[in-house]
Amino acid sequence: MVQISHIPLYRTLTFKVSIALIAFFILNGVLLVLWNQADIMNDLEIDIQTAYRTTALEITEEIENPETDINDMSVFFDSLSQYYPGMELFLVAPDGEIQEHGSYVPSQLINSHVSIDVIDSFIQADTSDYPIEIAIPTATDLDFVFSAAALGSPTDPYAYVLVTMVEGGEDVVVSWWEEYGVILTRTILFSIIIAGFAGIIFWYFLTRRVQNVAQAVQNYRAGDSRFVLNDEASDEIGHVAMHVGDMMERIDAMFGELGRKEKMRTELLASVSHELQTPLTVMQGNIETLVEHREKMSEADLSMKLSAVYSQVRHMSALIDDMFDVAILETGQMRINAEPFPMVELVEDVLQSYALLLEQSKITVERDFPESIQTVNADPLRIRQVIRNLLSNAIKFSSPGGSIRITTEVKSNEILSFRIEDTGVGIAEDDIGKIFESFYRSKQQLEKTVKGTGLGLHICQHILKLHNSTLEVKSRLDIGSTFSFDLKLYKEVVTI
Ligand SMILES: Nc1ncnc2c1ncn2[C@@H]1O[C@H](COP(=O)(O)OP(=O)(O)O)[C@@H](O)[C@H]1O
Ligand SMILES: [Mg+2]
């Protein structure tokens, strides 16, 4: 048998499904986060700007306070930016020139001029209009004005105050990871747990069961058929398990049957050789004597030797006939050709052929046949063989003066019962079970040198089995034996 390397299909499948589930959940989570991110960011920016605008307005009010020393602006700016890290303050002249500049994080001016139009439009604009973009004089990457205010008269200000933010200085804007990292981590963890559960369920309901079937087949292949498949579910795997179980049972039965037949054949062959050996030895002895001492032998001795040889030849012929029958019935080739025939006529015919033997053995026969024609539906040649064997047994195993009683009886309107009783030696209780075995002959009979093959009853039993009938026996040692069997009647009994 070819050893195929084992690829655990379902385990691989489970693994793939779990990975696919994890990937699906993560992708799902990321997409949801990204989708929501745009909205969240927008709202966040507006919140941040509102907060800083409030601060910027407070600062402007502070500058406009008469107590504030505007001339010492740089000191004021520096002190303010200590409280508001990240905030930058500019004092702008009415022509747009930056006069003062202060910030917590040191920064250089890259532009000394800002557009007054933009600042004016910001001051006049509705405060809810965010953001207003402006090129920031110190930064390259932050371009939102958070607040601006005019100093002095609103129509003719002597200067402007501009408040912006520099990036990194504020702690309100958090990084993408800080904002979404937790959600993403939870998504990943959740998806791993879900996929894990799905994997376990998959494994439990599919892999484990398929593995059981595979294990059973593997064990069976290794010669261990004790492993029982007990998956009784009505799904596909259950069906596979059931069919595999059935298959194993059938293979077992087939091998069992093969082994039994093989054993029987070997035993038969051994018995045949043994059975043929005895008559051949007897014949050989007699023929040797005839060859070597023929001239010196008397006529009576000569005919005695010859008849001994003849008797062995007849025995061998009977043995070979019986063995042929056994061979065809063992191989299942024995066929029954059923046809209607009158049973009593057949019995009379067989009795006729044994008339001389019966007379010589001084055995009387009693007939108990009802006065009606009993037509049975059976194979006449095979039934004749059965009756002949039963009658010859009854004669063989009876002593002179004994009697044999043959009965045919209609049981119900469909069955004819045949019975043959003798007053012979009977069969010991221990032997009754064995007399149907091939080559079985009770020792007691062998000692008395009664001729026989020990195949007769074995063949009879099979012939009757093929007629859906059985050969029954009742016997008591030294009292007698009764053999009986039933046959189907061909049609209803017709009275003569
Ligand atoms: N009518 C009978 N009375 C006593 N013993 C019998 C009778 N019929 C069969 N037996 C026993 O059953 C054995 C098997 O019978 P059978 O198969 O016909 O073989 P065989 O007639 O060649 O001995 C006989 O050897 C005998 O011991
Ligand atoms: Mg016999």
Q: Which residues pair with 133 in a beta bridge?
A: 144
Q: Which helix (H) or strand (E) holds 160?
A: strand 157-165
CATH architecture of 266-330: Orthogonal Bundle (1.10)
Ligand number with the minimum distance to the CA of 389: 2
Question: Ligand 2 center to residue 390 CA distance, Å?
Answer: 7
Pocket-testing residue among 275, 317, 406, 441, ligand 1, by greatest number of atoms within 8 A of Cβ: 441
Alpha carbon 234 to chain centroid, angstroms: 11
> Given 3.30.450, 3.30.379, 3.40.470, 3.40.50, which CATH number is that of 10-176?
3.30.450
Which of 101-138 are b and which e, b meaning 16 or more Cβ less than 10 Å from the residue's Cβ? bbbbeeeeeeeeebebebbeebeeeeeeebebebebbb
What is the atom index within ligand 1 of the atom nearest the CA of 442? 27
Question: Ligand 2 center to residue 387 CA distance, Å?
Answer: 10
Span 248-252, average pLDDT: 87
Question: Ligand 2 center to residue 441 CA distance, Å?
Answer: 9
Ligand 2 is a single-atom ion; what residues have CB below 5 A from it? 389, 393, 456
Report the pLDDT value the prediction gives residue 241, as an integer from 0 to 100. 83
Question: Ligand 1 center to residue 136 CA distance, Å?
Answer: 128
Which parts of 354-442 fold into alpha helices (H)?
Answer: 355-361, 380-396, 429-432
What fold does the segment set 339-495 form as a domain?
A: Heat Shock Protein 90 (3.30.565)
Beta-carbon count within 10 A of 62 CB: 13
- Max mean pLDDT range (14-18, 126-130, 329-333, 416-420): 416-420
Can you read off the two tokens belonging to residue 104? 């917590």
The ranges assigned to domains in the chain are 10-176, 266-330, 339-495
In this model, does residue 170 exceed pLDDT 50?
no
Question: Ligand 1 center to residue 322 CA distance, Å?
Answer: 14
Residue whose Cα lies nearest atom 13 of ligand 1: it is: 441
Instruction: Say whether pTM exceeds 0.85.
Output: no
What is the spatial distance between Cα 47 and Cα 54, in angstroms, rounded to a whole number? 11
Question: Ligand 2 center to residue 457 CA distance, Å?
Answer: 6
Ligand number with the minimum distance to the CA of 392: 2
Ligand 1, CB cutoff 6 Å, lining residues: 389, 393-394, 397, 422, 424-427, 435, 440-442, 445, 452-458, 481
Domain 10-176 and domain 339-495 have a common topology? no
Tens digits of residue pLDDT in 409-463: 998 888 999 999 999 999 999 889 889 887 777 665 555 566 777 889 999 999 9
Pocket-testing residue among 316, 419, 457, ligand 1, by greatest number of atoms within 8 A of Cβ: 457
Ligand number with the minimum distance to the CA of 437: 1
Confidence of residue 332 (pLDDT cuts 50, 70, 90): confident
Report the pLDDT value the prediction gives residue 228, as an integer from 0 to 100. 67
Ligand number with the minimum distance to the CA of 462: 1
